[in-house]
Structure 1
Amino acid sequence: MNGLEKNIINRKVSKLPSPGECREIWRSTDAVCFDVDSTVIIDEGLDQLASFCGKADEVKKLTVQAMQGGMEFRTALRARLDLLQPKLSTIQKFTRSNLPKLTKDIDRLVAALQARDVDVYLVSGGFRSLIAPVAKMLNIPLENIFANRLKFFFDGEYGGFDETQLTSRSGGKAEVISWLKKREGYSSVVMIGDGATDMEACPPADAFIGFGGNIVREAVRDTATWFVYDFATLINELESED
């Protein structure tokens, strides 16, 4: 566990609702925010893009170095993108030839939530251009995506990323949820994800559900008061109330 994760975990232990409270909130929530990489989809989008660009090893090494050093999220993101330098044409080719691999039962879960008039959001430190196809596959409105935006120069060359986006910085997911609660007046919001930064968003999220269906982050598994390994568990919990 790196220093950043330890700090997040230490802050979370006393603030997460109990298992019973989590389940009660889950069954009655107004909105659910899903992390995307390794949660809604099987893979990590930036890693897949790096592999497509032939720079998988370099980006992975940089990611590990950043995590071990507790580097701020935006700094780590900038470093990896500076290494990739993805052009607009590269992004377009990647999204056309690499359909997202949805995690089993996520489509059923999203449909079940929407049938209950629960608003569903995708909140990610990844990139909107890579996440939009995921939203379309799940019938989630594109305006319900909160993610980073790549920038390009007029000739299509890489021009950086929009650093005004909340998700471009550490703690950004919590800021998104606070903003949503104020704008929409939700009485409760649930955050679901595999990482420490997802757990960090509770509070202001009213409950956090750790997800280990694709990868198990030990720090999250050992701290989350409700940790699941598949989405069928969450569907069954919804149906148990009906």
Structure 2
Amino acid sequence: MFIATLIAAGRLRDDDLARASEIAGGGELRWIDAGDAADLLLGPVDDWRDLRDRLEAGLPGVDVIVQPAEEREKRLFVADMDSTMVGQECIDELADFAGKKAEIAAVTERAMQGELDFAEALHHRVAALNGLGVGCIERCRTERVTPNAGARTLVRTMRARGAKTLLVTGGFHDFADPLASELGFVEVRANYLESIFGHLTGRVAGEIVDAAAKARALIELREELKLPKAAVLAVGDGANDAPMIEEAGLGVAYRGKPKLDAVADARLRNNDLTALLWAQGIPKAEWLED
């Protein structure tokens, strides 16, 4: 059995539900939260990706998540940080303190599009920060970096319901650790910026958290918890998130780059991150909101 969840917070109409049923060739309709999200309960589906694409095309402005009914509520949540849990690319904002934001942001964008090797691009960008005072990191974090809408509610709600939560990023612990504490992530995997005498050296310390490392982190935690793939939810935005997304039972592209959209199970283009609670069948009355 499959479920197609239709999400358009404050905008979902009965007509949308009827249209979805017509596209899918039938199915039982149930509101999760009236006007926000609804489920279309289906039988076996031969090509669920094709159905998802047809529903998206037929329902502009509605996010559609098609998935098996089994293991719908996830027990492990793995998320990227930059442009996913937060609205910024932290290294771009930090580069602004060195007067190099435009230069670094251009490299970041190409890396996120999958046009550059992630590790090489990271080393190039970090090298541009050589000599920057470490005090700029805290200023950048507090002045420039903000969680995306729904991030805190999503993580806190899932954690309260017993899910394990992991923040895994090609960014840096200086940003990821405080954010994880704020949002409710239990574990963090990130890179370390090397510094000496209060200034950045322009180097990354230790192994790079790249696309492969992100996927490994998910797999390791999934196996440690003895969970099936179907019990895992992962979300990211860039091409370097693709291997991680493909290792999840429900892999979601949040405002995703084309290379990630192409492999993701679901594309969150219109709603905030709380849509991932509706995707699990969790109504607003059970959310831990701010």
TM-score range, shorter chain: 0.7 to 0.9
Q: Match for residue 105 of structure 1?
A: 150
Q: Match for residue 200 of structure 2?
A: 158
| Corresponding residue to 2:97 among 49, 52, 55 | 52
| Corresponding residue to 1:183 among 220, 224, 229 | 224
Percent identity reads 25
Q: What SS does the corresponding residue of 1:200 show, helix, strand or coil?
A: helix
What amino acid sits opposite 1:196 in the alignment? A
- 1-side partners of 2:273 and 2:220: how far apart? 26
Instruction: Give, in angstroms, the shift of residue 118 of structure 1.
Output: 0.5
Post-superposition CA distance 1:18-49 (Å, at most 9, x none)? 85436654x33221101111111111111111
Which protein is richer in strand relative to its size? 2
What amino acid sits opposite 1:207 in the alignment? L
- 1-side partners of 2:114 and 2:239: how far apart? 15
Q: Match for residue 192 of structure 1?
A: 235
Task: Mark the CA change 1:38 to 1:172 in structure 2 (over 3 Å): closer, same or farther.
Answer: same
Post-superposition CA distance 1:62-88 (Å, at most 9, x none)? 445667894321111111111121332
- 1-side partners of 2:113 and 2:222: how far apart? 33
Task: Mark the CA change 1:198 to 1:62 in structure 2 (over 3 Å): closer, same or farther.
Answer: closer
| Corresponding residue to 1:128 among 152, 157, 173 | 173
Question: Larger radius of gyration, structure 1 or 2?
Answer: 2
Q: What TM-score do you get using the length of structure 2 for normalisation?
A: 0.65
Q: What SS does the corresponding residue of 2:171 show, helix, strand or coil?
A: strand
- 2-side partners of 1:234 and 1:147: how far apart? 23
Task: Mark the CA change 1:193 to 1:22 in structure 2 (over 3 Å): closer, same or farther.
Answer: farther
Task: Mark the CA change 1:23 to 1:234 in structure 2 (over 3 Å): closer, same or farther.
Answer: farther
- 1-side partners of 2:258 and 2:113: how far apart? 15
Which protein is richer in helix relative to its size? 1
Higher RCO (C-alpha under 8 Å, 6+ residues apart): 1
- Aligned residue pairs total 217
Superposed CA RMSD in Å reads 2.8
Q: What TM-score do you get using the length of structure 1 for normalisation?
A: 0.77
Q: Match for residue 219 of structure 1?
A: 259
Determine whether 1:174 maps to 2:211: no
Equivalent positions of 1:1-242 (< 5 A) are: 20-21=66-67, 24-25=70-71, 27-63=72-108, 70-85=115-130, 86-95=132-141, 97-98=142-143, 100-141=145-186, 144-153=187-196, 155-159=197-201, 160-165=203-208, 167=209, 169-187=210-228, 188-212=231-255, 216-229=256-269, 230-240=272-282
Q: Structure 1: where are the runs of 5+ without partners? A: 1-13
Task: Mark the CA change 1:64 to 1:139 in structure 2 (over 3 Å): closer, same or farther.
Answer: closer
What amino acid sits opposite 1:238 in the alignment? Q
Task: Mark the CA change 1:202 to 1:220 in structure 2 (over 3 Å): closer, same or farther.
Answer: closer
- 2-side partners of 1:149 and 1:235: how far apart? 32
- 2-side partners of 1:191 and 1:81: how far apart? 27
Task: Mark the CA change 1:162 to 1:185 in structure 2 (over 3 Å): closer, same or farther.
Answer: farther
Task: Mark the CA change 1:171 to 1:72 in structure 2 (over 3 Å): closer, same or farther.
Answer: same
Q: Is the 8 A contact 2:211 2:241 kept in 1?
A: no
Q: Structure 2: where are the runs of 5+ without partners? A: 1-46, 53-64
